[in-house]
Structure 1
Amino acid sequence: MKSATSFKRLLMRGAALAAVTFATASCSWLQSLDKDQTLDWSADKLYSEARLALDDSNWTQAKDYYQKLEARYPFGQYAQQAQIELIYATWKDGDAPGAVQAADRFLRTYPNHANSDYVMYLKALATLNETDSWFNKLAAEDLAERDANASREAFDTFKELALRYPDSRFAPEARRRMHGLVLAQAEHELKTAQYYFVRHAYVAAIDRAQRVVREFQNTPMRDDALELIAKSYDALKITDLAADTRRIIELNKNGERSQPTR
């Protein structure tokens, strides 16, 4: 009986020891997981690994390495280049507002940097994507108006790029995108005017269509906007203004016909 009791105690002691050993091993394993593998990396190592992640489209990993490089070696040889590539990785990782903020911060800090044109180009692209962020999805402002605001801000950035750096390799693309944004904004305003018209909000339709005529008179949407204005005046029984608007349409058409062919 005594030997059985001793054996039982021995088993219990062994189980307790095994539990302690397992717990210790588990803690060591978890600590090894929590340890930052990059702690001993040099600036060269961090930058090269960040570039590899960037080339592999592993945007989140690239961001992590660039941020650590910036924090640990803020005045090293890779500091400024890492900030530029971090802007790109942030944008590609889906954080457009963060990319815009990082671009603005870089341009304030290094206004005469050799790659400022590229940073401005990235900022404009990220601005166009800002409306897809989770924050803007929660905002109470009108979605269509927010899209128009983003387009105008991007246009201004592209314009600044083209004016400040006319010989930049990004200038032709900036000008092309400016032209596309003008057409897109004009179409947006025209569609908004048409939206109001079909809902019999004729005063609002006239207001938005007049904006097309006023701000986008060199686009194909101008004459459609004028026709919509005339139809809205017809609906409001303001026949004299409807007639005046149609005379403008005819004058525009006659002026285009009289233009010499090239």
Structure 2
Amino acid sequence: MPAPRTVRVARLFALAFAALPMAGCANLFDTKEEELVVPDVPAEQRYNEGLTLMQKEDYAGALTRFEDVDRQHPYSEWARKSMLMIAYINYSQGKYDECIGAAKRYLALHPGSPDAAYASYLVAASNFDLIPDISRDQTRTQRAMDALDEVVRKYPDTEYAVSAKKKLEVARDQLAGKEMMIGRYYLEQRNYAGAINRFKVVVTRYQTTRHAEEALYRLTEAYMALGVVNEAQTSAAVLGYNFPESSWYKDAYKLVESRGVNPQMNQQSWIAKAFQGFKLGS
């Protein structure tokens, strides 16, 4: 006699629920089995794959390979190399903050490495490439100068120090330009004391930059406006001594001459002392 319909339905539900745990286990076993068959790729092989992808200009793929090595084989020599490649790829792709983070991590873990100079240079070069327009805040420029100076000090005999010195001069010129911009503004507002303070920074800190000539002329102009003729004479004399062919010197000469005096150097003046010991125009 066939079972009542209600009984048959109950049995179907019972079989279905009984099968659920087994299905779950089957999926679990399948997952584990799949994980087990995934090969453990050696660090060297994964690193070389990254290099190959870089040659093909697949930087995203290369970055993934190097990150895999760093994560899966953290204490290997290949992980050390991969960290440096991660920093380099980020730099080459214009991801400067990411490069700085990766390079600093490398330096923290491997400060005595032969490649520490390069990692340090990547930090400096990234900060340098992030230098903003002269009209904006120059905190990043100062940061770049500090990082570049560190490369020069720590690794003076490397090619990175040579490049860092060149970038350092550009960064110094940027900061000098910022001071000049503010100084000119103060001069236009007839805030002569404020202008002198800005030009003084250029003359004492950034005297090897292209702004030194104008700074000396602007000092002559500001001191003349204040009636401090002796300092105006000194700044004009220092300008003429270091840049005799400069158009700024010709203007400075005319300016002091309009007061019936000539450029004359006072050796006790802070302006003369700032340039003591060398001649820029020679």
TM range (shorter): 0.5 to 0.7
Provide, for residues 47-98 of structure 1, a one-character-per-residue CA deviation record: whole Å limited to 9, x for no partner.
1221123233433332222111110111223111100111111222332122
Inter-CA distance 153–56: structure 2 relative to 1 (3 Å threshold)? farther
Map residues 109-258 of structure 1 onto 2, 5 A cutoff. Answer: 109-130=109-130, 144=135, 146=137, 148-198=138-188, 202-232=192-222, 238-240=226-228, 243-256=229-242
Give the corresponding residue for 1:45.
Answer: 45
| Bigger-Rg structure (1/2) | 2
Answer whether contact 1:84 1:119 (CA < 8 A) is retained: yes
Answer whether contact 2:182 2:198 (CA < 8 A) is retained: yes
Q: Distance in 2 between matches of 1:199 and 1:118?
A: 47
- Compute the TM-score of the two structures, normalised by the length of structure 1: 0.68
Provide, for residues 100-148 of structure 1, a one-character-per-residue CA deviation record: whole Å limited to 9, x for no partner.
122222112211111111111111111123457xxxxxxxxx97453x3
Inter-CA distance 63–130: structure 2 relative to 1 (3 Å threshold)? farther
Q: Distance in 2 between matches of 1:72 and 1:100?
A: 22
Inter-CA distance 155–131: structure 2 relative to 1 (3 Å threshold)? closer
Question: What residue identity is the alignment partner of 2:55?
Answer: D
Give the corresponding residue for 2:66.
Answer: 66
Structure with more of its chain in helix, by fraction: 1
Question: What residue identity is the alignment partner of 2:54?
Answer: L
Question: What residue identity is the alignment partner of 1:92?
Answer: S
Shift of 1:165: 1.9
Q: Secondary structure at the match of 2:195?
A: helix
- Structure 2 spans left out of the alignment, 5+ residues: 1-34, 245-277
Identity in percent = 20
Structure 1 window deviating more from structure 2 (223-232 vs 38-47): it is 38-47
Q: Distance in 2 between matches of 1:76 and 1:200?
A: 65
Q: How many correspondences in the alignment? A: 211
Question: What residue identity is the alignment partner of 1:174?
Answer: A
Inter-CA distance 238–201: structure 2 relative to 1 (3 Å threshold)? closer
After superposition, the CA RMSD in angstroms is 3.1
Inter-CA distance 117–188: structure 2 relative to 1 (3 Å threshold)? same
- Structure 1 spans left out of the alignment, 5+ residues: 1-34, 133-141
Shift of 1:246: 2.0
Q: Distance in 2 between matches of 1:247 and 1:187?
A: 24
